[in-house]
Chain A
Amino acid sequence: MIVSFKDAFKFIGIIITVCCAVLVCNMFLNYHIDLNAIAGEISESQQVAYKAMQLNSKVVCGVTGGCLAMTSAVLLIFYIGNYIKEHSARFGILKALGYNDLKVAASCAVFGLCVLIGAAAGYALSWALMTKFYAAQNDGETLPTVVLHYQPVLLLTVVLPTLFYSALSVLIAYIKLKAPALSLIKGGDKLRRIKVTKSDKDRNFLTELAFSVIKGRKMLVFFVGFGCFCFSAMTQMGLSMRTYASDMMGYMILIIGLVLAAMSLLLALSAVISGNAKTVAMLKANGYSIKESGLAVLGLYHLPAVLGFAIGSAYQWGVLNVMINIVFSSVEGTAHYAFDWKAFGVCTAIFVVAYEALNQYYVWRITKTPLKSLMSE
């Protein structure tokens, strides 16, 4: 087998993200179907609250599930691209021996396994939490009690993503493997086209290095920004939701936000560090200090991080404003929503400390790696 099962398990980021996506979708879709079943019991006065609950379950499922599904797809593209780059010689030799692109790419279908694991875990977890979730949703006593029923059709939340992501894996691999066999054998770096850009600015070496580390790595910039966006939006939203919805909703959003943020940031920063291991080795060999090396390699990623955090704060304010002050405004007893400055302050403080700690950890990690092992990679 070209790609082993062991390789698929390395895609832990995708497993966790898919798990979260299926967890949320299965709970809210199950609830939505059961909610539809009580439509005949809804009185005229309960119609507004009922429609709001229906919309709420659809929006949460669509936005959270959709967002997580898209994240999984982006993660998959990134992981497979990186995997092929790391093992390009192996793929190149197979191509040189006469295996066709599709046959080689088909072996990447095994990456669908990580989606299956994540989806199955999410599905199981959703059923572990389902009773509590229904109890929390029924807590308001505005609507008749929604009774929990098992919906077998929702097993598709496990099957469909597995099939879709397996096919997507093969497609991504097929596109990536279009490069000539010799280029693949020579290594992933050769696959990248050189974009010669003349800089008239006479920047010093470390500044130039910082720009070169971030230039041409839009995906990593995106992941850093996205991770901080998720952290900012979902932690603030989670804290506010405890007041406006329920503790359970709040914690769920909070946990999903933290998982997404951690996955994105760990993925991006690990890729930045591993992609620049030799650069750091040369900096160390020549006598650049730990601080200088860390700043040059990770310093400019602070910009997308701060931007992601700021956009996340604005986004959660916009979403909650629309949901609470517009969609649920006619539901009796719904409080007016205003920007939660306290949550913002707490999240900002945690963000600054956590992001800097993560940076320091990665700087420490590179400096503790022996030069010899960095150079022999």
Chain B
Amino acid sequence: MIEIENVKKSFGSAENVQQILKGINLTVNNGENIVILGASGSGKSTLLNVTSGLERVDEGKVIYDGRDITALSDRELTAFRRATVGFVFQQYYLLPDMTVDKNVRMGADLAGNSEYRKIIEEVGLADKLNKYPRQLSGGEQQRAAVARALAKLPQVLFMDEPTGALDEATGRQLLDYVLKLQKERGFTLITVTHNENIAKTADTVVRLNSGAIVDISRNISPKGAYEIGW
């Protein structure tokens, strides 16, 4: 379980401080699929970054199964990310000089996962194993990024606007794959998006506005990737 307690985060210099997160409180259960919804500048990406340990909070706590990660040293935080979380970013961030196989292996080696090629097959990139990111389409690059995150066998997968740069068909395909896998493997999925439709696929929807949670709602029967509008 992830407990976010009164998390605050600001950016900018002393004269021009911008409070991005204004005391966030949220609980995410293990295996839950949660979507954080908000407009651009609402603080959703910052919330994802502090929850995943990519950034430090100014105030508050982020507790994973009783362990407060805001109190960890840099070294401990690195070890935490290594063992616990996976990331999918809107810009993919694949390593440009490495093939799909090696990019995915980046995640797999951390978990000692020798079966990582199965994940590459499952995301439909078996024939692109030796291709470099520049030789792939946007959708293929994002699938490679998903495969890399999943090859790490994370307990929590964070996705920041994962379909933001994709066309509808590719976006649905990717979402369908991740949702299916989340159900199969039972990892916690936290997705940040501005797309209202994607929120319909989640167990819980958290709406964020100007750095504060304005609404938390539960979907009784979450929809599949092909059942929502786009």
A215-B97, A289-B78 are known contacts. Are A205 and B102 too (CB-CB below 8 A)? yes
**Which chain A residue shows the least CB distance to B94?**
A282
Contacting residues, chain B, for A372 (C-beta < 8 A): 49, 54-55
Q: Is the interface of B mostly helix, strand, loop or mixed?
A: helix
- Quick check: B81 and A285 within 8 Å, CB to CB? yes
Q: B93 within 8 Å of A by Cβ?
A: yes
Number of interface residues of A (CB under 8 A): 31
Closest chain A CB from B118 CB (angstroms): 16
Q: How far is the CA of A215 from the CA of B132 in the complex (A)?
A: 15
Contact of B82 among A213, A216, A286 (CB under 8 A): A286
Task: Report B62-84 CB contacts with A as 1/0, cut-off 8 Å.
Answer: 00000000000011001111110
Contacting residues, chain B, for A215 (C-beta < 8 A): 97
- Quick check: B102 and A208 within 8 Å, CB to CB? yes
- Quick check: A287 and B80 within 8 Å, CB to CB? yes
- Quick check: A286 and B107 within 8 Å, CB to CB? yes
Contact of B106 among A205, A278, A375 (CB under 8 A): A205
Closest chain B CB from A371 CB (angstroms): 5
Q: B152 within 8 Å of A by Cβ?
A: yes
Q: How far is the CA of A288 from the CA of B75 in the complex (A)?
A: 10
Contacting residues, chain A, for B91 (C-beta < 8 A): 375
Closest chain B CB from A324 CB (angstroms): 48
Q: A336 within 8 Å of B by Cβ?
A: no
Q: Which of B78, B87, B109, B132 has the most CB of A within 10 A?
A: B78
- Quick check: B75 and A289 within 8 Å, CB to CB? yes
- Quick check: B152 and A286 within 8 Å, CB to CB? yes
Contact segment of A19-27, A131-139, A159-167, A188-196: A188-196
**Which chain A residue shows the least CB distance to B108?**
A205
- Quick check: B110 and A287 within 8 Å, CB to CB? yes
Contacting residues, chain A, for B95 (C-beta < 8 A): 209, 212, 278-279, 282
Q: B18 within 8 Å of A by Cβ?
A: no
- Quick check: A286 and B106 within 8 Å, CB to CB? yes
Q: A198 within 8 Å of B by Cβ?
A: yes
Within A281-297, which residues are at the interface with B (CB < 8 Å)?
281-290
Contacting residues, chain A, for B27 (C-beta < 8 A): none
**Which chain B residue shows the least CB distance to A281?**
B93
- Quick check: B134 and A288 within 8 Å, CB to CB? no
Tally of contacts, chain A with chain B, CB under 8 A: 80
Q: B39 within 8 Å of A by Cβ?
A: no
Contacting residues, chain A, for B105 (C-beta < 8 A): 204-205, 208
- Quick check: A194 and B134 within 8 Å, CB to CB? yes
Closest chain B CB from A60 CB (angstroms): 43
- Quick check: B96 and A189 within 8 Å, CB to CB? yes
Q: B98 within 8 Å of A by Cβ?
A: yes
Closest chain B CB from A292 CB (angstroms): 10
Task: Report B102-126 CB contacts with A as 1/0, cut-off 8 Å.
Answer: 1001111110000000000000000
- Quick check: B79 and A371 within 8 Å, CB to CB? no
Closest chain A CB from B99 CB (angstroms): 8
Contacting residues, chain A, for B108 (C-beta < 8 A): 205
Contact of B78 among A196, A209, A282, A284 (CB under 8 A): A284
Q: Which of B91, B105, B135 has the most CB of A within 10 A?
A: B105
Contacting residues, chain B, for A204 (C-beta < 8 A): 105, 109
**Which chain B residue shows the least CB distance to A206?**
B109
Q: Which of A196, A285, A287, A370 has the most CB of B within 10 A?
A: A287
**Which chain A residue shows the least CB distance to B129?**
A198
- Quick check: A282 and B93 within 8 Å, CB to CB? yes
Q: How far is the CA of A281 from the CA of B108 in the complex (A)?
A: 17
Within A181-222, which residues are at the interface with B (CB < 8 Å)?
189-190, 194, 196, 198, 204-206, 208-209, 212-213, 215-216
**Which chain A residue shows the least CB distance to B96?**
A189
Task: Report B23-59 CB contacts with A as 1/0, cut-off 8 Å.
Answer: 0000000000000000000000000010000110000
Within A251-284, which residues are at the interface with B (CB < 8 Å)?
278-279, 281-284
Closest chain A CB from B104 CB (angstroms): 9
Q: Which of B54, B74, B80, B89 has the most CB of A within 10 A?
A: B54
A288-B78, A372-B49 are known contacts. Are A209 and B54 too (CB-CB below 8 A)? no
Contacting residues, chain A, for B96 (C-beta < 8 A): 189
Q: Which of A208, A212, A284, A288 has the most CB of B within 10 A?
A: A208
- Quick check: A285 and B98 within 8 Å, CB to CB? no
Q: How far is the CA of A156 from the CA of B5 in the complex (A)?
A: 71
Q: B19 within 8 Å of A by Cβ?
A: no
- Quick check: A216 and B97 within 8 Å, CB to CB? yes
Contacting residues, chain B, for A371 (C-beta < 8 A): 49, 54-55
Interface residues of B (CB under 8 A from A): 49, 54-55, 74-75, 78-83, 85-87, 89, 91, 93, 95-98, 102, 105-110, 130, 132, 134-135, 152
5 A-B contact pairs sorted by A residue (CB < 8 Å): A189-B96, A206-B109, A285-B54, A285-B87, A286-B152
Interface residues of A (CB under 8 A from B): 189-190, 194, 196, 198, 204-206, 208-209, 212-213, 215-216, 278-279, 281-290, 367, 370-372, 375
A-B interface, 4 closest residue pairs, ranked by CB to CB distance from nearest: A287-B82, A287-B81, A212-B97, A205-B109
